[in-house]
Structure 1
Amino acid sequence: MINPSRFHKFRQVLDQRQPDLRVIAEKVHKPHNIAAVMRSADAVGVAHLHMVWPWEHDRFPKGTSKGSERYVELHRHADTAEPVQKLKSQGYRVYAAHFSERAVDYRKLDYVEPCALLVGAEKHGVSQEAADLADEHVIIPMRGMVASFNVSVAAAIILEEAHRQRDIAGYYNQQRLSSEEYHWFLFRWTHPVFAAKCDLIGEAYPPMDEAGAVLAPPEWWERMRQIVAGSV
């Protein structure tokens, strides 16, 4: 039985997702920081987070991400060039949070156009490769003795500016996900067990009715049963 209020919440969130606002986290190695970045991304409607993470395990400590790792699609990459070049080829501008001679106040850039915020590792920031690949460098003006914010705090501040600009542009008042991607997310959130089984056998997710119930023929249910039984 699907909880109606929860299903409504899923749809409400997806109605405001921003498919062309992305985050690239380059070797942010502390689990609580990557989890906090993901939480901020979810809060402003980011649907996809790209993590440059060449190590084996992805870890999200309980309580930090508040479950947002279930709702922001994580794309893992072994190197920075892969996500940056792919997004740029799709028309995205890449803004790196990086101190340099060409860095500008983060509030001066346009976040309404397709763009990706690139943040770097806790101690060293973005790599030189990432800085060279980025279209723009952004900084947050500082008034104290410290030189920079924590990576997760910096990401939250810049993402909130993106949220502000897109809100003014009316981007949260219209469904911006394609129908196919909307259904993909909605099915995964509503039926995570069935979604995992479909992924296992490479099968598309079946349709749902207005209440979130699965609309599938008997043979689909039989395939699900066979997966549970271990015969597929």
Structure 2
Amino acid sequence: MSTPNPRKQLRPTDVKRLNRNWRRATTGRMALILESVTSPFNVGSIFRSAAAFGVDTVWLAGNATPPSNPKVQKTALGTDRLVEWHEPVPVADAVKAAKEEGFRVVAVELTADAVPLHASDLSGDVCLLVGSEDHGCSPASLEAADAVVYIPQVGRVGSFNVSVAAAIVIAESRRQEWASMEDS
């Protein structure tokens, strides 16, 4: 007599149930600031990751491309409807708005005082700030941020694509929250 294969892919109903369970177990609020992220494909990809991990709000800053751009839509696949977002404003205004909403702003950048991502504290209501594809976070945004983290790398590439970096940091923030639930 054979046993059923435990690695059978979940049916859509089972996936919805699994996601609902994770959503109920997730209490921390999360937001993003996209500072001058101009590639529509990066913005679309960030919105998909944001929607998948339950990001509440995205503030666009500088000359960031809004999700209403048709090229963003091609990658976002409608996920911009699932995340509140704000039209681009100066980065200082976006950081101020995030702080007024009760978020601690954590920039993702390589700076002398940046903490490695795995050693960072991303608990509570956190707003992750990612910078442009070419120049990263501006000096103004780094000055306004409450903390700075970086993603350790061991390969020979100098940096991640901004949408990949955003997804990694968003996932780590949720992982920290879920791991703390297991500890209690």
Range of TM-score over shorter length? 0.7 to 0.9
Larger Rg: 1
Counting only pairs closer than 5 Å after superposition, residues 53-64 of structure 1 correspond to structure 2 as 53-54=62-63, 58-61=68-71, 62-64=73-75
Gaps of 5+ in 2: 1-12
- Superposition deviation, residue 76 in structure 1: 1.8
| Deviation at residue 63 of structure 1 after TM alignment | 4.0
Q: Does 1:106 align with 2:117?
A: yes
RMSD: 2.6
Residue 60 (structure 2) aligns with: 51
Distance change (3 Å), C-alpha of 1:73 and 1:52: same
How many Å separate the matches in 1 of 2:50 and 2:127?
Answer: 11
* One-letter amino acid of the structure 2 residue matched with residue 20 of structure 1: R
**Deviation >3 Å, runs of 4+:** 11-19, 53-58
* Residue 166 (structure 2) pairs with residue 155 (structure 1): yes
User: AA paired with 1:31?
Assistant: P
Between 57-66 and 39-48, the greater mean CA deviation after superposition: 57-66
Amino acid paired to 2:179: I
Normalised TM-score (structure 2)? 0.78
Alpha carbons of structure 1 residues 139 and 76: separation in structure 2 relative to 1, 3 Å: same
Residue type of the alignment partner of 2:44: A
How many correspondences in the alignment?
164
Please tell me whether the aligned partners of residues 20 and 114 of structure 1 are also in contact (alpha carbons under 8 angstroms). Answer: yes
Q: Percent identity among equivalent residues?
A: 34
2:42 aligns to what? 33
Give me the TM-score of the superposition, normalised by structure 1: 0.63
> Are 1:19 and 1:48, in contact at CA under 8 Å, matched by a contact in 2?
no
Secondary structure, in 3 states, of the residue corresponding to 2:75? coil
Change (3 A) 1:118 1:63: same
| CA deviation vs aligned residue, 1:164-219 (integer Å, no higher than 9, x gap) | 1122344xxxxxxxxxxxxxxxxxxxxxxxxxxxxxxxxxxxxxxxxxxxxxxxxx
Q: Which runs of 5+ in 1 are unaligned?
A: 171-232
